[in-house]
A and B are shown apart, each in its own frame.
Chain A
Amino acid sequence: MYLSQVFENSEMEQLIQTFLSEADEFIEEMEAGLLSLEDSPHETGVIDQVFRAAHSLKGSSMAVGLSPVGKFTHEVEALLLEVKENRLSISREVIGTLLKCNDRIKEMIETLKDDLSASFNFDELVQEIEKLKLPLNTSAATAKKAAPASGFGFFDEEEELTEDHHDHQQRAMGHQSHGHKRKSQEQIKVSQERIDKLVNYIGEMAILLTVLDEQIDQFSGTALESTVKQLSKISKDVQDVSVSLRMLPLKPIFQKMRRIVRDITTKLGKKVNLQVIGEDVEVDKSILDLVGDPLVHIIRNAVDHGIELPDIREKNGKPPTGNIVLQACHEAGRLVFYITDDGSGIDLDVIREKAIKLGIISSKAKLSNSEIQHLIFHPGFSTKDKVTDISGRGVGMDVVSNNIKAMSGEIDIKSTLHKGSQFRITLPQTFSIIEGTVVQTGIEKFVIPLADIRESVKIKDFEIAKSTALGEVLTLRGERLPVFRLDDLFNIDTLEKNREQIALIAQSQDKIFAIIVDEIVGRQQIVIKNLGNEIQGLKEFSGSTILGDGKPALIVELSNLIRRRKLIDLTAKRITA
């Protein structure tokens, strides 16, 4: 009866591999369904979807001869049927068990991927399923009678399994020849490497086109000019499409968050409603891979530190169920996440005290509210005295902050005591192309990411006040900003001082400062080229690019560059003091 006897071994192997890679989809679908079922138990479509996924999983696994998976899924399906036919109402407990089962199936599939002959023991979970079904068998006498007829009874297991087995055997074979039926749009699987290559080549093409574009002025009015113009336009479209090839929706990550919130709240006895907005927002694959961990950290923190226990919430006049909103959207060409909770908020006094105790700030330090809130990103800072396995090992927020900085993003927090907190994470949409400002100092050109620059103003030298203690200071609309000169920072000879220069008002994290350059050459799309390993250690530059004249230019990482200047200043002060 086993298919291995019917098929050649290699064919069988292939069927199994196909099943294993497809199983993930079913499992994901089940998990998503279960989670939304818990939130809105009366939506009938959802339970059908979960049931279908479980049924397909059972059928396909039996069809390829992986009977342990099939048998276990059968048990799960039986429980789902109870729910589906309204004989068992959805409770936290039921969903909990079903999620556990789903995890177990996932585990089985993962194990099978490595070792096809693995055996499994799932008695414990089957007992749990039985226990859930038990009250129904005793109390719901009417249902009992109807049970065997509707096929829910799993006493006639043998018969049903063989039947299903046969059914799916054919279906699995059909699956191979007809391809995906579940996908509405036809899709092709392409390795990421090939896409990356394509994107790189197109990037190079874009650079060559800018070179061409700079030279085309000599040919104005000719057919050559209009051809190049058209080519540039098409190239831009091609570039957009190539970038979009790597774009994936955030859905899987957001789903993971829902699961995490569910697990933690159960553990802590809290009640949290997680609302997810923008799971269809598409982001670059490389960002998708990196953004998960920081989000997990923040969400965990929000549940663990933010949302209060139900009785405390009620005492404070809040509904017992806390709310966390996870939102993703595009804002001004950047990808933005908001994580908002209506929990206890950040107690500035507690943070301050703790920071003093830990020696992070001095007891005399004057800090603004937002500066105090930002202390939670300081390495080794954790306010919860109790170390839990959910968060609070003291390595939470600074890791988050570092991860985000590594993606050239920023993180910000706003919080009101007793009202809640909001984290805002801003990330570039892709790592390969940014908007940049090309600046010139002396004869050297550099690129500064547009995201770092708030505005640019023309200044005369006398407008900058010089102070021995503070260095140079520019007063702009009443705001006093420290001044850094690009030529000083880079030790570049400038042609003549004292003429009109440009001050770029830069904002990096929460610091605002002025960078003086000779002139702004232009603003353009910058295709980022990595620097060779031998100079990647230079943290002052995040990469390089090729400008319109074909020459490479460095992309400046301002926050690291001005740090270099600060160090020099400190030593100077120590020597003279």
Chain B
Amino acid sequence: MTETFDFNNGEPKLDETHSSKNGHLDCGRYLEFNLGEEKFAIPLLTVKEVIAVPETTNVPFTPEYYLGIMNLRGQVLSVIDLRKRMKISEQESTTETAVIIVDLEYTQLGVVVDSINRVIAIDNEDFSPPPEIESNPSTEFVTGCYKSDKNLVLFLDVDKILDHKDKELIQNPTTEQKAV
């Protein structure tokens, strides 16, 4: 996974159509990837490109899963480690490890995953809402699941990878220290 490939080259970007609301997903194509042993998928249209893991520069005062900033052909982007974000035990970096550049409404983001698997096309009836597991902090960005073969694939809402709470966490790291 050393070369770069571009999934949406030249295609017009569809916005909102594929961002899920109320747990409902439109049918379409998804990019399936692995975090540890687990499989996840995000709408292909939010994927700008996939690159090898770049060098990053640390940014102080950010949460642990925030890897740093990277240089993508002259543009500075944030990179987050989705494994840490999802509290999935970290794997050794291999040649399979990749960074997905996702296009969100308000920003572009690099997301580290363990491996890129395939592009899947799915109909609506194959979806089911995620089972409710209250104790799992990751469920807030899981919008649904899908059973392929024997594996469970979780669908992620990319917008929520960095959700409101995280943004605040970054913005006010000193809130609890406010004195006088």
Contact = CB atoms under 8 A, between A and B. Distances in A.
Nearest to A206: B74
Contacts of B171: 537-538
Given A537-B170, A538-B171, A567 B71 contact: no
16 contacts: A207-B74, A444-B57, A489-B60, A532-B108, A533-B107, A534-B166, A537-B167, A538-B59, A538-B61, A540-B61, A544-B57, A546-B76, A550-B71, A567-B174, A568-B174, A568-B177
Nearest to A200: B74
A231 to B, nearest CB: 17
A41 to B, nearest CB: 57
Interface stretch (A243-251, A518-526, A551-559): A551-559
Given A535-B62, A537-B168, A552-B70, 8 more contacts: A203-B74, A207-B74, A489-B60, A532-B108, A533-B107, A534-B170, A537-B167, A541-B59
Kindly name the residue among A203, A444, A537 whose own CB sees the greatest number of chain B CB atoms within 10 A: A537
Interface in A492-551: 492, 529-535, 537-538, 540-541, 544-546, 550-551
Contacts of A280: none
Interface in A450-495: 489-492
A367 interface: no
Contacts of A546: 71, 74, 76
Contact of A538 (B74, B168, B170): B170
A204 interface: yes
B59 A532 contact: no
Nearest to B61: A538
A59 B77 CA distance: 56
Contacts of A492: 60
A406 to B, nearest CB: 17
A531 B58 CA distance: 13
Contact of B69 (A552, A570, A571): A552
A106 to B, nearest CB: 38
A492 B180 CA distance: 28
A445 B174 CA distance: 23
Given A532-B109, A538-B59, A546-B74, A571 B177 contact: yes
Contacts, number: 88
A564 interface: yes
Contacts of B168: 537
A574 interface: yes
B73 interface: yes
Interface string B45-76: 00000000001011111100010011101111
B52 to A, nearest CB: 14
A222 B71 CA distance: 29
Closest 6 A/B residue pairs (Cβ) = A537-B171, A204-B74, A490-B60, A532-B107, A529-B76, A570-B179
A563 to B, nearest CB: 9
B57 A551 contact: yes
Given A532-B77, A534-B167, A567 B109 contact: no
B71 A552 contact: yes
Interface residues of A, number: 35
B78 interface: yes
A204 B69 contact: no
B107 A567 contact: no
A208 interface: yes
Interface string B144-180: 0000000000000000001000111011101001111
Kindly name the residue among A204, A445, A540, A554 whose own CB sees the greatest number of chain B CB atoms within 10 A: A554
Contacts of A545: 76
B60 A567 contact: no
Contact of A534 (B58, B78, B179, B180): B78
Contacts of A530: 76
Interface in B73-106: 73-78, 106
A570 B179 CA distance: 7
Given A535-B59, A535-B62, A564 B174 contact: yes
A545 B170 CA distance: 20
Nearest to A486: B60
A552 B55 CA distance: 9
A203 B73 CA distance: 12
Given A491-B60, A552-B71, A532 B179 contact: no
A349 to B, nearest CB: 29
Interface string B22-66: 000000000000000000000000000000000101111110001
Nearest to B77: A532
A534 B108 CA distance: 9
B71 A551 contact: yes
A379 B170 CA distance: 27
A532 B78 CA distance: 7
Contacts of A445: 57
B80 to A, nearest CB: 9
B74 A208 contact: yes
A208 B108 CA distance: 21
A540 B57 contact: no
Nearest to B58: A444
A546 to B, nearest CB: 5
Kindly name the residue among B58, B61, B178 whose own CB sees the greatest number of chain A CB atoms within 10 A: B61
A377 B108 CA distance: 38
A115 to B, nearest CB: 34
A529 B170 contact: no
Contacts of B170: 534-535, 537-538
A544 B78 CA distance: 11
Contacts of A529: 74-76
A207 B74 CA distance: 7
Given A552-B70, A552-B71, A568-B177, A531 B76 contact: yes
Contact of B57 (A208, A489, A552): A552
B99 to A, nearest CB: 14
Contacts of B107: 532-534
Contact of B180 (A489, A537, A570): A570
Contacts of A553: 57
Kindly name the residue among A531, A534, A550, A564 whose own CB sees the greatest number of chain B CB atoms within 10 A: A534
Contacts of A551: 55, 57, 71
Interface in A425-446: 444-445
A438 to B, nearest CB: 12
A77 to B, nearest CB: 53
Interface string B96-127: 00000000001111000000000000000000
A482 to B, nearest CB: 18
B174 A540 contact: no
Nearest to A543: B76
A530 B73 CA distance: 14
Kindly name the residue among B77, B178, B179 whose own CB sees the greatest number of chain A CB atoms within 10 A: B179
